[in-house]
Amino acid sequence: MLVREIYDYLNTLSPFVTQETWDNSGLLLGTMDTEIERIYLSLDIDSDLVGTLEPHSLVITHHPLIFKGLKQLDFGLYPANVIQKLIAKNCALIAMHTNFDISHLNKYVLKNILGYEHIQCQNHICYFDVNQSFDAFALHVKSAFSLEHLRVVQAKSFIKRCALTTGSGGDLIREVEADCFLSGDFKYHQALEAKENKLSLMDIGHFESESYFSVCLGEHLKKLSLKVIMSNSKNPFEYK
């Protein structure tokens, strides 16, 4: 199957034109006329994952490997080392980032991981009703994401309406209209601002909240006549 055929299907599923202006989703490596034999799905692509790839494959990641302009390609350093190996194996690479967040990933995490059905989404922020104490909801979130520790900012003792953005949503805090906001990568000053403005926060982790990308997209690729391999990069953080 040609990359073009898969790209067109992905574009119908989650239009690349809906990505943020700062994003770099789409075909990052290869050509539309490249013939591929299998698809790998992963949140990111790293040295370990690229080492397992079969030649003539398509890798679809959530995060773009090439995000900002590259001024040089030092094959001893990331990401150039991964790019070199992908080219050597004649592999193509497509990223589905903010466009897929909006169309699928946020809703998938809310419904399939947290278990909420009635969801209202506004761009990158999805809202849902909790009607639960802060402590009880925090325990539910920890269990759903299998988190040993949950970093929180408690501004209220009871949560009526909650918001979620997978990945890194700290810059959206001022747009959130809810009692609590679930996202990852919250910074200190964002936490302080949220608490002063009576917005509770629960940091569900960047990797942890987006690690469902492969499973989510994989459900939509079952109709393709290609082998789809569920994979994933490793979380670079460790907890001691």
Residues 8, 79: one domain?
Answer: yes
DSSP per position, the chain: -BHHHHHHHHHHHS-GGGS-TT---EEEES-TT-B-SEEEEESS--HHHHHHPPSSEEEEESS-SS-S--S---TTSTTHHHHHHHHHTT-EEEE--HHHIIIIIHHHIIIIII----EEEETTEEEEEEEEEHHHHHHHHHHHTT-S--EEE-S-SEEEEEEEEEEE-GGGGGG--SSEEEEE---HHHHHHHHHTT-EEEE--HHHHHTTHHHHHHTTSTTSSSEEEE--PPPS----
Does one domain contain both 114 and 95?
A: no
What pLDDT, on the 0 to 100 scale, is given for residue 147?
A: 95
Same domain for 108 and 41: no
133-162: average pLDDT: 97
**Do 194 and 125 lie in a common domain?**
yes
Residue 42, pLDDT > 90, answer yes
When divided into structural domains, the chain yields a total of 2
The reply to whether 218 falls in a domain is yes
Domain that holds residue 41: 3-99+211-230
Does 237 reside within a domain? Answer: no
- At 225 the pLDDT is 86
Mean pLDDT along residues 32-41: 96
Note if the pTM is more than 0.85: yes
Q: What percent of the chain has pLDDT over 90?
A: 94
Same domain assignment for residues 110 and 147: yes
Digit-coded pLDDT (tens) for 69-93: 888 999 999 999 999 999 999 999 9
pLDDT beyond 90 at 201: yes
Same domain, 163 and 218: no
Judge whether 21 lies within some domain.
yes
Kindly report the average pLDDT of the chain as a whole number: 96
Residues 90 and 107 in one domain: no
pLDDT, position 41? 98
Q: Mean pLDDT throughout 122-139?
A: 97
Q: What does the pLDDT read at residue 65?
A: 97
**Are 95 and 142 within one domain?**
no
**106 in the same domain as 49:** no
146 with 88, same domain: the answer is: no
Residue 239 lies in a domain: no
User: What is the pLDDT, as a whole number, of residue 239?
Assistant: 83
Whether 240 is covered by a domain: the verdict is no
Q: Is residue 52 part of a domain?
A: yes
Same domain for 45 and 117? no
What is the pLDDT, as a whole number, of residue 240?
84
Q: Are residues 111 and 200 in the same domain?
A: yes
Looking up residue 10, the CATH number of its domain turns out to be 3.40.1390.30
pLDDT at residue 150 in the model: 97
Give the tens place of pLDDT for each residue, 175-199.
Answer: 999 999 999 999 999 999 999 999 9
Asked whether residue 126 is assigned to any structural domain, the reply reads yes
